[in-house]
Amino acid sequence: GAVVSQHPSWVICKSGTSVKIECRSLDFQATTMFWYRQFPKQSLMLMATSNEGSKATYEQGVEKDKFLINHASLTLSTLTVTSAHPEDSSFYICSARTPGLAGGEQYFGPGTRLTVT
Amino acid sequence: AQSVSQHNHHVILSEAASLELGCNYSYGGTVNLFWYVQYPGQHLQLLLKYFSGDPLVKGIKGFEAEFIKSKFSFNLRKPSVQWSDTAEYFCAVNAKNTGTASKLTFGTGTRLQVTL
């Protein structure tokens, strides 16, 4: 099946700094990528939908200036957490949808654990 | 907007026991339905999906799910669980025919613990 990678797998940063997380579709081109946040023992919460070459669509309550998303190519989307604070500590997961399956299946990355100290 | 509820938060079963995890959704239109599994320390993997046709769908590792439209349900079943099935299970739904705007909505998940 399709493979989605994320880098880094975990990161620790100091409060006030910014962190960039990369999401890559390795063997397919993803016109749409999604960014989720998962708190311990909770479900995935969609943060934003990213379409290649256009601005991301953010879910209600997600600060677009804090969580910058860039989908510069068909295989790469990045999430930058700006001026991170301890409450931003979480597990961030990206997923990508294969072309031709609009409304269909998504493939998920392994996630990035962010800890802000 | 759609919503998904999973009523079983934590299920503990002995090996060889039968499994049924509940999933109900709320949405006014037609949907695609999914079950994902997240093994400890691993990423989400698709177990099975329903788009149309036979409401009883079979997935990987012996799992199956039945879509009952009248009940807005898509329960996951396995006749005999194994210790290796210990994982978190998520039901998800997206609205059909909404093109690139379509996005998955997840349930809160059910933690399955299988004991030897």
pLDDT tens track for B18-36: 999 999 999 888 888 999 9
Q: Which two tokens stand for residue B98?
A: 């909404």
Residue B101 pLDDT > 70, yes or no? no
* Distance from the A32 Cα atom to the nearest Cα atom in chain B, whole angstroms: 7
Tell me the three state secondary structure of residue A16.
coil
> Quick one: pLDDT band at residue A102, thresholds 50, 70, 90?
very low
Which residues, numbered 52 to 71 in chain A, qualify as contacts with chain B under a Cβ-Cβ cut-off of 8 Å? none
Does the beta-carbon distance from A41 to B90 stay under 8 Å?
A: no
> Quick one: pLDDT band at residue A52, thresholds 50, 70, 90?
confident
> Quick one: pLDDT band at residue B7, thresholds 50, 70, 90?
confident
Residue B96 pLDDT > 70, yes or no? yes
Tell me the three state secondary structure of residue A67.
strand
Q: Which residues of B touch A (CB under 8 A)?
A: 32, 34, 36, 42-46, 49, 51, 90, 94-109, 111
Q: Are B91 and B74 in contact (CB under 8 A)?
A: yes
